[in-house]
Chain A
Amino acid sequence: MAAIIGMSFKEIYKKKAFVLGAVLSLAYLFLYGTGLHLLFKDMTGSDLLSNAMMQSQLISVGLYFASFIVALLVILTSSGSISSEVDNGIMYSVASKPVSRTEIVMGKFIGIGCIMMLYASCMFLAVIGINAIMGSDLLRGIGIAKILKGLALFDLIPVILLSFTILGSTALNTIGAGVVSIILYGLASVGGMMEQIGASVGNASLVNIGIISGLIMPTDTIYRKMFSSMLEIESGLSLDILDISPFGGSVLEPSVWMVLYAALYAAAMLWCAIRVFNRKDI
C-alpha cells in the first residue's frame, strides 16, 4: 500500500490543478488579509458587541471560503483517482500486480487524504493567523486547545468529501463523480443555511431539510460544529451566536453525535468504495 500512497503524493504534486489551487489559495489569503487590514483599521469604536460580531463574521467568512476551496480541490484531485486510471488504461498495469483492490483504494484515500488534510490545515491556520495578526479580540479568549479542536473538525471535512468522491470514482466516470460530489457539497451547504434560518425563525420544516441534507452529506454540519466548538466560551454557550451571517453562526449547534456520524459516514463510504472496486471489471 505504501507504493500506492507514495504514487498518490507524486501524482497530486505533478497535477496542475493542485499547483493552480495552491496559487489561487495564496491569492485568496492575500485578498482576505488585505480586506481584514482595512476593516480592522476602521474598527476603533468602543462598541464591544458590534466589534465582536464583526470579528466573528470575519473569521466565519474566511473559514467558510477556505473550506469551499479545500472542498473543490478535494473533488478535483480525487474524482478521477480510480475512474480515470481505469479509463485510460493505467489501472491495467497496477491492478494486475500483487496488490489487492482494497490496498489500491486505501492507498489512494490515505495519499490524497494526507495531502488534503495538510492543505486544509494550512488554510485554517492561515485564516486564524491573519485574524490574530490583525488583532482580533475574539481569538484572544479562545486559546490554543480550542483552535486545535476546530482544526481537527475542519480537517474532517476533506476526509468526508474524499471518501464520498472516491466511492463515486469507483462507480462512475470522472465527470460523473465530480459533478455528483459538487452537487452534494452544494446541497449540504444550502441545507445547512436553511436549517439555521429555520431555527432562527422557528420553521421546523426548514430545520428538517437541513438535518436531512446533513445526513446525506455532513460537510456543512461539521463546519458549523467546528465553528461553534472553537468559539465556545463555556459549556453550552458559544460566541458564534454573535455571527448572524450564513457562513458560521449556529442558532442550532450540531451535537457531538453528528461528529461521530460524520466519521462513520466517511468509513462507510470508503467501505462501499472498496466493495464496488473489488467487483469492478477493469
Chain B
Amino acid sequence: MIIETRHLTKIFNGNGGCRDVTLSVDEGEVFGFLGPNGAGKSTLIKTLVGLCRPSSGEGSVLSRPIGDVNARRSIGYLPELFRFQDYLTPQELLMFHARLYKMDMSDIDGRIDKLLDLCGIGDHKRQQIRTFSKGMQQRLGLASALLPSPKLVFLDEPTSALDPVGRRDVRNIIEVLKNDGVTVFLNSHLLSEVELTCDHVAIIDNGHIIASGSLDELMKKNKKLEIRLGGVDDAALSALKDEGRKVTIHGGILEITIEGESEIPGIVRTIAQNGGNIYEVGTSKTNLEDIFIGMIDEEREGSGSNNRDEL
C-alpha cells in the first residue's frame, strides 16, 4: 500500500479536522477524496504530507511513518492554498524547490522547462510570479508537485482556479501520471472530474469517512429505481418508508435509491400489496454527485450515523 492509515485523527483544540480515518490507497491508483467544505479533507492531506502532527492513530506513506522526511523525496504536493515567493520567476522557484528536494541538478533546467511546458506556462518562465493570475499560479504549483518525478502526488483542489481548458489539462496530466504508475490522491469538489479520473473514492463528512471503495462498485450499488404509478398512493409510500427506503417523487415518478437489481421485485411487491398501480418500472444511471449528496444528506439526517459503509 502506498498510503495506509489506521484510526488517524487530527483535531485542532477539540474541533474540526478529521477523526478515526482508516483507509488504504494502492500503488498506481487515482484516489478521489470527497467531502463538503470543512469536512476535513485538506487536514487529512496536510497530516499525510507532514504539515500537521496526528492527534492519534497512525499511518504510513510510501511504507514510511507519516511525517518521515526522506519519504517526501518521492512525494509531490499541490496545496489548496498555493502561494509562492512572488518575487521569483517560475524557473527560479522550481530551481529552489529542486534544491529542497535535493535533486540531481545536472539536467534540472531541461526538467523544469519540460514541466512548465506540460503545465502550460512555458512561455512565462522568466516572468515574475507576482504578475501571474491565480490560474497560472495553480499551474505552477502543479509543475512543482511533479518536479521530483514523484511516486505519489497529493492534489488538493487542483482545478479550483482553472478555467475549463485548464481543468481538461489537469485531467490529461492525471491520466499521464496514472499511465506512468504514479499514485494520485485527488481532493476535489468537482465530482464530474473525480468520476472521470478516479479508480477509488472515499467520502468524508464532519471529519469521518462515511463511505469508501471503488468508483465502479459505488456507482453499481447506488442505482436509482424509477416507478411510474397511477397516482401517488400514500399507503404504498408509507410501506416503502417503513422498509427504510429513501423515496422521492418527481413529476409523478417515484424515485428509490437501491443498492442492486435484486431489490426491485421486493419493492414492486410492496407497492402492489399496498394498492399501488404500477405502469412502468425502470432504472437510471446515477452520477457521483447524486451519490455524494445522497450520502451527505443521509449522514446529516442522522440515519447514516451508524452506517459507516465499507462498500
Q: Which residues of B contact A41 (CB under 8 A)?
A: none
Q: Which residues of A contact B85 (CB under 8 A)?
A: 7, 10-11, 90
Residue-wise interface mask of B (100-119) relative to A, using a CB-CB cutoff of 8 A (1 in contact, 0 not): 11100000000000000000
Decide if A282 is an interface residue (CB 8 Å cutoff).
Answer: yes
Decide if A3 is an interface residue (CB 8 Å cutoff).
Answer: yes
Question: Cα distance A14–B130 when bound, in Å?
Answer: 13
Instruction: Please give the distance in Å from A115's CB to the nearest CB on chain B.
Output: 16
Question: Cα distance A52–B97 when bound, in Å?
Answer: 56
Residue-wise interface mask of A (81-121) relative to B, using a CB-CB cutoff of 8 A (1 in contact, 0 not): 00000001110111111111000000000000000000000
Residue-wise interface mask of A (264-282) relative to B, using a CB-CB cutoff of 8 A (1 in contact, 0 not): 0000000000000001011
Residue of B nearest to A282 (CB): B51
SS of A interface (majority): helix
Instruction: Please give the distance in Å from A215's CB to the nearest CB on chain B.
Output: 33
State whether B100 touches A3 (Cβ < 8 A): yes
Decide if B72 is an interface residue (CB 8 Å cutoff).
Answer: yes
Decide if A2 is an interface residue (CB 8 Å cutoff).
Answer: yes
Pick the residue among A90, A96, A99, A279 that contacts B49 (CB under 8 A): A96
| A98 touching B102 in the complex, CB below 8 Å, given contacts A89-B79, A89-B81 | yes
State whether B51 touches A93 (Cβ < 8 A): no
Decide if B141 is an interface residue (CB 8 Å cutoff).
Answer: yes
Residue-wise interface mask of B (264-292) relative to A, using a CB-CB cutoff of 8 A (1 in contact, 0 not): 00000000000000000000000000000
Q: Which residues of B contact A7 (CB under 8 A)?
A: 85, 96
Instruction: Please give the distance in Å from A107's CB to the nearest CB on chain B.
Output: 10
Q: Which residues of B contact A281 (CB under 8 A)?
A: 10, 12, 46, 51-53
Apart from A96-B50, A98-B102, A281-B53, 14 more pairs, CB < 8 Å: A3-B96, A6-B99, A10-B85, A11-B87, A89-B81, A89-B82, A90-B83, A93-B79, A95-B50, A97-B101, A98-B69, A98-B72, A99-B69, A99-B100
Chain A interface bracket (under 10, 10 to 19, 20 to 34, 35 or more) = 20 to 34
Residue of B nearest to A279 (CB): B53
Chain B interfacial residues counted at CB < 8 A: 31
Q: Which residues of A contact B72 (CB under 8 A)?
A: 96-98
A:209-268 near B, CB below 8 Å: none
State whether B83 touches A96 (Cβ < 8 A): no
- A sample of 21 cross-chain residue pairs with beta-carbon separation below 8 angstroms, ordered by A number, consists of A10-B87, A10-B88, A90-B83, A90-B85, A92-B46, A92-B51, A92-B79, A93-B84, A93-B141, A95-B50, A95-B51, A96-B51, A96-B72, A96-B77, A96-B79, A97-B100, A98-B71, A98-B72, A279-B53, A281-B10, A281-B53
Q: Which residues of A contact B10 (CB under 8 A)?
A: 281
State whether B97 touches A96 (Cβ < 8 A): no
Instruction: Please give the distance in Å from A105's CB to the nearest CB on chain B.
Output: 14
| A98 touching B101 in the complex, CB below 8 Å, given contacts A92-B81, A281-B52 | yes
Question: Cα distance A92–B82 when bound, in Å?
Answer: 8
Instruction: Please give the distance in Å from A21's CB to the nearest CB on chain B.
Output: 17
Residue of A nearest to B83 (CB): A89
**Residue of B83, B102, B141 with highest tally of chain A CB at under 10 A:** B83
Decide if B75 is an interface residue (CB 8 Å cutoff).
Answer: yes
Q: Which residues of A contact B9 (CB under 8 A)?
A: none
B:35-49 near A, CB below 8 Å: 46, 49
Question: Cα distance A95–B72 when bound, in Å?
Answer: 10
